[in-house]
Chains A and B, each alone.
Chain A
Amino acid sequence: MEDTSHKDEFKRDMLIYFSIIALTALIITISHLQLGVLGIWLIVPIACCEASILGYYFMHLMTKKKTVHLVLLLTVITFISLLFWPAWDVAYSPRTPSEFTKY
């Protein structure tokens, strides 16, 4: 019984391994297509998917206790808040040399 479960786990791990490699190949292909901003909007979510799959299965986040989820949730909220904190400044910053001379 335990042997079967180990085999199943192994199969699942290999499936995840090849899925992440396939997703890596996909983002490399997208990068080669030189899609500009669209490329960024495609590559970043796919990379997030890769990382989520890795965290979910390899780091056993799927079976983790609420404490771990809480710690990670607080971290993500703090990180996103800090990331967007200076965004207003960037949004109103001069973007071209000619705009720069106005200030």
Chain B
Amino acid sequence: MQESDKFLPYIVNPREDTGLYNAKFGIWLFLASEVMLFGSLFSAYILLRVGSFTWPVQSDLQNVPIGAINSVILLSSSIFFIRAWVALKADDIAKYKKFMYLVILFAFLFLCLKSFEYYQHFSHNEFPKTSVFMALYFLMTGLHGLHIIGGILVNIYYVGPGMYLREKDKQWFINRVEVAGLYWHFVDLVWIFLFSTLYLL
């Protein structure tokens, strides 16, 4: 048992029955609730689309190239996160920080392009009130954008002020970064569905 496990059990080492440490079990339960949240919105999209008399040709309303670039950007940030975690496990802090900065940079890039898309929609007088599709588009991508912002804040914490946690317990810190990575990959996964549903179908 490690030092930190004496205060609260299973924050570093996995439980025997679940095979998971607390934070990892917690993040999977959280991600399950997130699946339900986004799932309900996708359900609403499907039911509204199936039940409507007419539906716009989505690819005509959307900037597909920007959506595609955003997909590559988010996917690249996921790869950078994995490299950061691997570097952290190998105790290479300089490399860890470099990759984490890249993750944050790419996340900002994603938000910049998303903002540009919103700007284009607004300049074409396309608002949430314009149609059911636009309402769903702004709701779903807006909620996803909020998740990106949340992820950026967590990533900034783990590459900046949160680094002191590493001094307390290295493995504990590695676990925390792993959990943040799981969240980040999930946000990427949601975007895959958002892009194909709202841009291409």
Q: Which residues of A come within 8 Å of B, CB atoms?
A: 6, 9-10, 13-14, 17, 20-21, 24-25, 27-28, 30-32, 39-40, 43-44, 46-47, 50-51, 54-55, 58-59, 65-68, 71-72, 74-76, 78-79, 82-83, 86-87, 90, 93, 95-97
**B79 touches which one: A13, A30, A76, A95 (CB < 8 A)?**
A13
Known: A17-B75, A44-B196, A66-B19. A90 touches B182 (CB 8 A): no
**B36 touches which one: A10, A68, A78 (CB < 8 A)?**
A78
Any chain A CB within 8 A of the CB of B72? yes
**A74 touches which one: B20, B32, B75 (CB < 8 A)?**
B32
Set of chain B residues within 8 Å of A47, measured between Cβ atoms: 192-193, 195-197
Chain A, residue nearest B35 (CB): A75
Cα distance, A61 to B195, chains bound together (Å): 23
Instruction: Report which residue of A9, A58, A93, A96 has the largest number of chain B beta carbons within 10 angstroms of its beta carbon.
Output: A58
Instruction: Report which residue of B19, B43, B189, B200 has the largest number of chain A beta carbons within 10 angstroms of its beta carbon.
Output: B200
Cα distance, A95 to B52, chains bound together (Å): 7
Cα distance, A79 to B37, chains bound together (Å): 10
- Across the A-B interface, how many residue pairs have beta carbons closer than 8 Å? 112
**A75 touches which one: B19, B32, B79, B201 (CB < 8 A)?**
B32
28 interchain pairs (CB within 8 A)? Answer: A6-B86, A10-B83, A10-B86, A20-B192, A24-B195, A25-B68, A27-B196, A28-B68, A28-B200, A31-B64, A31-B199, A39-B201, A47-B196, A54-B75, A54-B78, A54-B189, A55-B185, A55-B189, A59-B189, A67-B19, A67-B20, A75-B36, A76-B35, A79-B39, A79-B43, A83-B39, A83-B43, A95-B53
State which size class the interface on B falls in.
35 or more
Cα distance, A67 to B18, chains bound together (Å): 6
Cα distance, A66 to B14, chains bound together (Å): 13
**B86 touches which one: A9, A27, A28, A93 (CB < 8 A)?**
A9
Chain B, residue nearest A31 (CB): B200
Q: Is the CB of A79 within 8 A of B28?
A: no
B48: shortest Cβ distance to chain A, in Å? 9
| Contact mask for chain B residues 9-46; partner A; CB cutoff 8 A; 1 contact, 0 none | 00000100011100001001100100110011011001
